[in-house]
Structure 1
Amino acid sequence: MLHPIFARWLFVDFDGVLHPGLAGTLCYRDRLEAFLLEHTDIGVVLSTSWRLHYTHDELRRLFSSSIRERIVGVTPALPDSTRAQRYSEIQVWLRRHGGGRRWAALDDDETLFPAFCDELVLCDSARGLRPAHLQKVAGLLGLPAAGVMAP
């Protein structure tokens, strides 16, 4: 299924991105949501391992109603032995749902991506999502960076 209203994709991990480590607090969700509200043509795909334990609808309910509809899916689960596993999962999703568009991934584990993956915005797992990461996402997606410095 193609998603024609979204010109860009953002793949989002939770642990080490939306909260430090495995805290489970989603304490940086508001930071991500503010960025998404500013840039309305970004569709969100959840690449987090949480997708293996919760349904798409359960995961969407973790976000505010203002962006919930923009969370269009989750990446497929590939075998753990898959090389650059998360990147490969993203590539499968893109082939099925609308490749050919700019994309970026917010993640804290570079081993799940090929070396020098330009689309990866690597977060420090102990600190999580920072405004500088959102500036980098904006750059990768060809968006103006204004407003991403807000907490």
Structure 2
Amino acid sequence: MGKTLSVSISPRGDVTLFLDVDGVLHRRAPGAEKFTALPHLQKSMRRHPRLEVVISSSWREVFDFEDLVELFDEDLRARIVGSTPVLEQDTEFVRQRECEQWMRTHCPPGQEWVALEDEQALFEPGCPQLLPVDGSKGLQLDDLMRLDERLSEALARVPELKLAREHGARAQEHLQLCCVVTASGDELLAEITYGNKRETLRHTDAAELGLTLLARGMKPEDVSSPDWKEGFHGMSAGQRAALFGAMRTGRKQSVDFHVNLTPLS
């Protein structure tokens, strides 16, 4: 285990850019002028206002985070949201692992990220998030064009990802449905509790009841057909027979059962 301390100041973007310094913001060479590519990167940041930046460079181990933030123009400083943790340098693909740890800790599941880095050996071969830069040149126009393309694609997927996360959160509220079904004559009465919600449904057959629940964004596990006469998950064959027998004969019959729910895909 190595040092794992990282800096975060309330991430706010929809896509995260991990930024190296040497070999990216300037060429990696003795006496090379510093930060020659920074003005061009800042133009890209302004084109993508939903982008947040995290410092992944070894500079984070030498300089205070506040000093690194001040390298950027004042209007962009709020979007420099942190620096990655420092893991042991013998960690395999250490820079990628540091980026991944930062994402797990600070970002919602599924948020996309890109890393500008000249040392490709610090990432797994073929890492899809890596945007490699030639360290002998630093960030060039073609690199910036690739970055803009990558960011545009990632940001275009954000609404879909957010919708999926919101749907997942709603599904957690509906993880288990508890139901008391009473059959009397040709009517099926269901007293249903799921999450913090409670309601009463009246239907003439189980298929309609099943479709009503499906419309609420839920489905019972292991039930592929909307016709619930084929079986409520968690309900025994004897319970089903008693319930639908009561519907046929007009007897009143109650059945208690539980249904584990999964969100609709």
Q: Quick check: TM above 0.5?
A: yes
Are residues 1:30 and 2:45 paired? no
**141, 144, 158: which is aligned to 1:134?**
144
Are residues 1:91 and 2:100 paired? yes
Give the secondary-structure state (helix, strand or coil) at the position aligned to 1:43: strand
Give how far 1:56 is off: 1.0
Are residues 1:76 and 2:85 paired? yes
Q: Which residue identity is paired with 2:118?
A: D
The structure carrying a bigger helix percent of its residues is: 2
Quote the sequence identity (%). 34
Equivalent residues in 2 for 1:1-151 (5 A)?
3=11, 5-22=12-29, 23=32, 25-99=34-108, 100-141=110-151, 142=153
Runs of 4 or more, structure 1, over 4 Å off, are none
Give the TM-score normalised by structure 2.
Answer: 0.52
Contact kept, 8 Å, 1:16 with 1:125, in 2: the verdict is yes
* Structure 1 stretch displaced more, 17-26 or 123-132: 17-26
Contact kept, 8 Å, 1:10 with 1:103, in 2: the verdict is yes
Q: Which residue identity is paired with 1:58?
A: D
Give how far 1:120 is off: 0.7
Give how far 1:136 is off: 1.9
Q: Deviations over 1:65-123 (max 9, x none)?
A: 02111000000100011000000000010011004211100000000000001111111
Shift in CA distance, 116/27, structure 1 to aligned 2, threshold 3 Å? same
Aligned length: 143
What's the C-alpha RMSD, in Å, of the aligned pairs?
1.6
If you compute each CA radius of gyration, which structure gives the higher value, 1 or 2?
2
The structure carrying a bigger strand percent of its residues is: 2
Report which structure shows greater RCO (CA 8 Å, sep ≥6).
1
Give how far 1:143 is off: 5.9
Give the TM-score normalised by structure 1.
Answer: 0.89
Q: Which residue identity is paired with 2:85?
A: P
> Which runs of 5 or more structure 1 residues have no equivalent in the other structure?
145-151
